[in-house]
Structure 1
Amino acid sequence: MAQESKPWYRSQTKVGVVLLAGSAILATVGGWLTGSISMANAVVALIAEVGALKLAFGIRDWPVINRNK
């Protein structure tokens, strides 16, 4: 069964994850810049937040991986 080929912004789940992870990333960077969290904690949080984005999109949806799109 072939998957639909629709843009990521037409998926409510993917848009929700982008907004959620984007706000978490901005909060982490802001916390690090203001000094409320250490750089080590910020790096760990950023890795987890980027992982959430990758999980939502799936590795095969990324154009770097799937060059057929």
Structure 2
Amino acid sequence: ASQRVEEPVPLESYTSTSIQPIPTPSTSAFANVAQTFMDSFSKRRQKSRSYRSQTLKKILFLNNESPL
């Protein structure tokens, strides 16, 4: 709380104290946010892909049905 947010904590402070880096609450929260964001992004991409395929099928169907 005393440290300002603008100053990033150097990685040397983590690695010098212990060989295994202890995950701080800030980094774990950031990882959770990134994970949820990536999950939602992948779901959105899958949804858009299926929607795109459905629209392509509809367009092809309409083209086949239309008297050209």
* TM value normalised by structure 1: 0.36
Larger relative CO (CA 8 A, sep 6+): 1 or 2?
A: 1
Bigger Rg, structure 1 or 2 = 2
